[in-house]
Amino acid sequence: MLNFVLITTAIVVLIFFNALYVAAEFATVASRKTLISQLAGDGNPMAKLLLPIMENSRSLDRYVAACQIGITISSLVLGAYGQNVLASLLVPPLEVVAGRIGVISGEALATFIILFFITTLQVVLGELLPKSIAIQYPERMALLLTIPMRASLAFFAPLIWLFNGSGNILLRLLGQEHHEGHGHVHSKQEIMILVTESHEGGLLDDEERQMLRNAFHLRDLTARLVMKHRTQIIAAPAASTLDELLQLSTETGKSRIPLYEEDIDNIVGFVHVKDVFRLKIKGQDNLNEIMRSVVHVPESLPASAVWSTLKTESQYMAIVFDEFGGTAGLITLEDLIEEIFGELLDESDNERQIMYIGKHGRRRLRGDQLVADVNEYFELSLPEDAADTLGGLVLSQLGHPAKLGDQVTIKEVTIRVEEMDDLTITEVSIDSPLLAETNFQVHEWEVPSEE
């Protein structure tokens, strides 16, 4: 009875150490360094011990090596111990069984049974179970095992030095450089997958998920896709009087007014309405005193670079020029911010992205809405190379000037002209069976139905 207890205890202890090192390796490698850093900053003593290991690639390399050495030693000892000790107990009765069978010896049968038994225990209890727990609770397990692993690092130090050194020498002989470190470096696509998983897991709400997606989407946009088209620019001749500028500001609600000479392709600066008021109060009328320089950027410049340019120049807006040097449009910090946070509406705004939600899945949108945005929000596949906006897409499909009621069908999406300003399509509606099937989220776009 005593022998059975000792043997069982020895096997349990060896499997325990195997499980400990497996859990420590998977937990530490899978742990988020940002969370461990936050816990260390909050005063968690285990996090303070673990953080230096995770921040230093050489220390983390030694940590993983200690885990692997511990797993190897415990596995070898468990196999040798089980074979030698358990075999002496199983061989005598199995010799009787084997003698009756007459095909295999009792020793061979005992070896097979012990190997199967030990391997099953080690794989299930010493490998799979601790690995699953460590992956499910990486930070918790890594912190829990910090003290045992620090002791193991000291105990296995000579072996770590020997084996790591031998491995590095072999790498050099093979012409390979040893790159230490186990850092978490994620591509843009991987980060978006993490955002989606966090949203599905309830850690991010719909708006937070959309803002993160928009922030990455900003890198793919150019000034041409974000700007207000030249036809939407509220500008004034540089020879305008103060009263004319104040009247224009009152009528449009704009506080910054670009000034041009001859035509809008030659914008020379802009004035702020507060400066116009100040000049008028002083009884002066020289616009050159208050006219500010304006930044010019090419329409092909990435939106993120436009943001950097405006910050560097301490400017709020920039004039976008096309390949011929003419004015293509105007872009502001608000335009860039809206690409991340969605449409920002104040008391002076009178526009919506979606005018109303109609029956049978029909959505009504502005004609200058980007096709790329419509595809993203509604999960459609309208062509983005034919035109930038919905209005432009309709015109490219019609092949002639549009009129009210004209409609085109593209990839199961019907786009109908609802409102126009001269030849410009200002509002369209879209209808498609795909809209009813798609569970889309368009929080900053949607307004209550008017139908």
What range defines the domain where residue 194 resides?
188-218
CATH number at residue 307: 3.10.580.10
- Which runs of consecutive H residues, i.e. helices, occur in 86-205? 87-101, 106-121, 129-136, 138-144, 146-155, 157-173, 188-200
pLDDT score at 92: 65
Lowest mean pLDDT, pick from 137-141, 369-373, 411-415 = 369-373
pLDDT score at 71: 92
User: Do residues 314 and 397 share a domain?
Assistant: no
**What number is the average pLDDT over the span 186-193?**
75
User: Position of tokens 């530490």?
Assistant: 28
- Domain final residue, candidates 341, 366, 399: 341
Measuring CA to CA, which residue among 418, 430, 444 is closest to residue 360? 430
Q: Give CA angle at 447 (254, 230), nearest 5°.
A: 35
Give the residue, 109 or 143, on which the prediction is more confident: 143
Count: domains in the chain: 4
The whole-angstrom separation of Cα 125 and Cα 116 is 14
CATH number at residue 374: 3.30.465.10
User: Do residues 334 and 371 share a domain?
Assistant: no
pLDDT score at 178: 57
User: Do residues 259 and 241 share a domain?
Assistant: yes
For residue 449, being part of any structural domain is answered with no
Q: pLDDT category, 260, cuts 50, 70, 90?
A: very high
For residue 179, being part of any structural domain is answered with no
Lowest mean pLDDT, pick from 97-101, 104-108, 223-227 = 97-101
For residue 229, being part of any structural domain is answered with yes
Segment holding 56, helix H or strand E: none
- Give just the sign of the alpha carbon dihedral 331, 335, 339, 343: negative
User: Distance of CA 350 to CAs 346, 371, 414, Å?
Assistant: 9, 22, 26
Average pLDDT, the chain: 82
- The proportion of the chain whose per-residue pLDDT surpasses 90, expressed as a percent, equals 28
The total number of residues shown for the chain amounts to 451
User: Do residues 163 and 58 share a domain?
Assistant: yes
User: Do residues 193 and 286 share a domain?
Assistant: no
For residue 127, being part of any structural domain is answered with yes
Q: pLDDT category, 16, cuts 50, 70, 90?
A: very high
Lowest mean pLDDT, pick from 37-41, 76-80, 385-389 = 385-389
Beta bridge partners of 329: 229, 320
The whole-angstrom separation of Cα 294 and Cα 296 is 7
User: Do residues 230 and 158 share a domain?
Assistant: no
Give 52-101 pLDDT, tens digit per residue: 988 887 888 889 899 999 999 998 888 888 777 776 666 666 665 555 55
pLDDT score at 447: 41
For residue 445, being part of any structural domain is answered with no
**What number is the average pLDDT over the span 403-412?**
90
User: Do residues 31 and 116 share a domain?
Assistant: yes
User: Do residues 296 and 365 share a domain?
Assistant: no
* pLDDT of 44 higher than 60: yes
For residue 132, being part of any structural domain is answered with yes
User: Do residues 399 and 273 share a domain?
Assistant: no
For residue 68, being part of any structural domain is answered with yes
Q: pLDDT category, 444, cuts 50, 70, 90?
A: very low
Beta carbons of 371 and 435 less than 8 angstroms apart: no
**What number is the average pLDDT over the span 219-226?**
85
Give 285-312 pLDDT, tens digit per residue: 888 889 999 999 999 999 989 999 999 9
Q: pLDDT category, 449, cuts 50, 70, 90?
A: very low
Measuring CA to CA, which residue among 272, 305, 440 is closest to residue 361? 440
For residue 242, being part of any structural domain is answered with yes
Q: pLDDT category, 177, cuts 50, 70, 90?
A: low
- Domain final residue, candidates 314, 341, 368: 341
User: Do residues 153 and 47 share a domain?
Assistant: yes
Q: Give CA angle at 241 (236, 246), nearest 5°.
A: 70
User: Do residues 153 and 197 share a domain?
Assistant: no
CB atoms within 10 A of CB 61: 18
- Domain final residue, candidates 341, 363, 382: 341
User: Do residues 278 and 158 share a domain?
Assistant: no
